[in-house]
Amino acid sequence: MQELVEKIVSALVERPEDVIVRKIQGKVGVLIEIEVHPSDRRFVIGKQGRNIEAIRHILSCVGVAKNMKVRVHLVGDEPGS
């Protein structure tokens, strides 16, 4: 799952060497944390949030197949920022 996200995000950004994907196992499910260079955040988010929502949808489907809840968080994507 983590490798899948790394490949997708690395293909979207201008600085793939700066892509960091962390998998944090929780009690209920998994949190996938994506960190990219600040100038590349716009590519990961995409127009009207379409890219990040597509990534979230893909991982949600993977989670359903593995019977687990998967959340995706883009570092720096806090409410109000």
- pLDDT (0 to 100) of residue 79: 55
Domains of the chain: 2-74 (3.30.300.20)
- CA distance linking residue 80 with residue 78, whole number of Å: 6
- In terms of phi and psi (left: phi > 0; alpha: psi -120 to 50; beta: otherwise), the region of 48 is left
pLDDT in tens, 36-73: 999 999 999 999 999 999 999 999 999 999 999 999 99
pLDDT in tens, 24-37: 999 889 999 999 99
- CA distance linking residue 79 with residue 10, whole number of Å: 24
- pLDDT (0 to 100) of residue 81: 45
Global pTM?
Answer: 0.87
